[in-house]
Amino acid sequence: MSLLFGPYPAQPNAAPCALPLIGVAVPAGFPSPAADWVEDRVDLNRRFITHPEATFYFTVAGDSMVSAHAERSIPDGALLIVDRALAAQHNDVVVAVLDGDFTVKRLYRRGAKLALLAENPAYTPIVLGDEQELAIWGVVRAWVVESR
């Protein structure tokens, strides 16, 4: 089961903080010689926060979103960047409020069928019953995992 801590509002008037973007992909296999490859500058706030007044952070607790597919895996302790201004679509990772509790899951929406899916196969899909209340709180734009 995954729990969420938050929401913590993003700083809507954060000072720009553009950091150098190196213009080459870092090989995960054999090293490549380094050079002066600074290509641009990137401000992570501008890249991931398009609606500052509607953007919040959450911290994930639990392993229900851990996947064997690295690009889909959201580990325990990850920081979620959640945008409430985006309309949730099928297959989006969302922060939902299910019966009054926050959870992060992948949204399954096909026709009248609505479910919340974990990435971890140990967790069964949450298919909503008639007596349950669900609100999609926001759409996860990105997640950050600290390496140390």
Cis amide prior to 7 (ω within 30 degrees): yes
CB 58 within 8 A of CB 79: yes
Is 2 noted as a catalytic residue in this protein?
Answer: no
- The single residue of 32, 67, 105, 147 carrying the catalytic annotation is 105
Instruction: Pinpoint the alpha helices (H) of the chain.
Output: 44-48
Is 113 noted as a catalytic residue in this protein?
Answer: no
Structure tokens at 2: 């995954």
- The single residue of 2, 32, 64, 73 carrying the catalytic annotation is 64
Catalytic residues: 64, 105
